[in-house]
Amino acid sequence: MTFADVRRGTDLEFGLSIYEPFGISQFEGLSFGAICAVSNVCGCMGFARKTMANATKWYKNIVEANFVNLPDDWLARTVEDLLAISIPQRDQIETAEGRRVAPLLVDSLPRTDAQLQELIDDGYDLARRMSWEHVVQDYFLPSLSRVSVAV
């Protein structure tokens, strides 16, 4: 068995980091039709949102989790209070978000061969739009044109 075999057999990939500066590995399963559950604090989630916003459709392949979404009664708390939350309080937030995300994941799983093929096609298309070639073409090279070099 190879790593590619594992990817081909992946239906759902969890990338629920509490902090990840970029973290593109959370999306490695896209090319094989996997559904990727990714936390909103993962740096690549912004890239994925922008990529999907520039597309003509929304992709079912990515489900975004938000574990920093606080209950309404927590919004008036100070930063110090939030930094000092207890394990039971953290578990409460994680449980609430897990309950929100779980049905989204279940609804995204394919039930027919046609739905599976759509996930594969869409995942491949989305991964292609998020390739390093596009990163260089759409982000890196344009930023170089804005840089003036002093000689």
pLDDT > 70 fraction of the chain, expressed in percent and rounded = 97
- In the CATH scheme, what architecture does the domain 3-145 have? 3-Layer(aba) Sandwich (3.40)
Strands (E) in 68-142, as ranges, are none
Handedness of CA 93, 105, 41, 22 (dihedral sign): positive
The predicted-structure confidence for 98-151, as pLDDT tens digits, reads as follows: 999 999 999 999 999 999 999 999 999 999 988 888 888 888 888 888 776 655
**What proportions of the chain, in percent to the nearest 5, are helix, strand and coil?**
60, 10, 30
d(CA 64, CA 6): 23
Provide the pairing of β-strand 62-65 with 35-39: parallel
* AA letter at 122: D
96 or 73, which is more confident: 96
The residues pairing with 62 across neighbouring beta strands, listed in sequence order, are 36
CB 127 within 8 A of CB 59: no
What pLDDT is attached to residue 75?
Answer: 79
